[in-house]
Chains A and B, each alone.
Chain A
């Protein structure tokens, strides 16, 4: 199984809502990532989890809150988002360490209204 599965595929939320994005992989990967991708732009790193611990936070606003409940799951909790946060949110995973392929999920397309 070389799949990274993200749910939901699409999400529309108001600026006062709280929602969560979910990501799951069963490849035994110990590094998991959240990326944000705006239209016609490259993926932009948000967070890196290594062995279920947050290892990198790329100065992401606190309205985005990541969580790694176990080695297969990664969540991104959303609260009080702004319309400019509308984007494709991509989860990825890789074996721990350098020089390893990152596998991406199909993404959640988020629209903040």
Chain B
């Protein structure tokens, strides 16, 4: 089955700086890669996703890149703000089923 690894587990950046979170996946047939943000005590919410036929996708301050050959994908947040502080999960969807497998999470803290 699919296995998703995520790094780093914690990340602290100065407000205004950029943050990068990296993930690798094991199943080369996986074709959908969502990123979820989970604030303390709240539900995971999708912030951006990318499909296997696309190498990069951007939405305002957030961008995701996908390298299918290397089986890794990354989340980039630019001009970070205090409200970006949360736990971020990458995920991959197995091609053979509807299940989404999550990475271990990155706790992002934005220093004022």
Q: A residues bordering B, Cβ < 8 Å?
A: 31, 33, 40-45, 48, 50, 55-56, 90, 94, 96-107
Contact = CB atoms under 8 A, between A and B. Distances in A.
Contact of B51 (A33, A56, A99, A103): A99
Most buried by B among A41, A48, A99: A99
A50 B99 CA distance: 11
Given A90-B43, A99-B32, A50 B49 contact: no
Contacts of B70: none
A104 B31 contact: no
A43 B97 contact: no
Size category of the binding interface on chain B = 20 to 34
Contact of B97 (A40, A48, A99, A103): A48
A84 B101 CA distance: 22
Interface of B: 31-32, 34, 42-46, 49, 51, 89, 93, 95, 97-105
Contact of B93 (A56, A99, A103, A104): A99
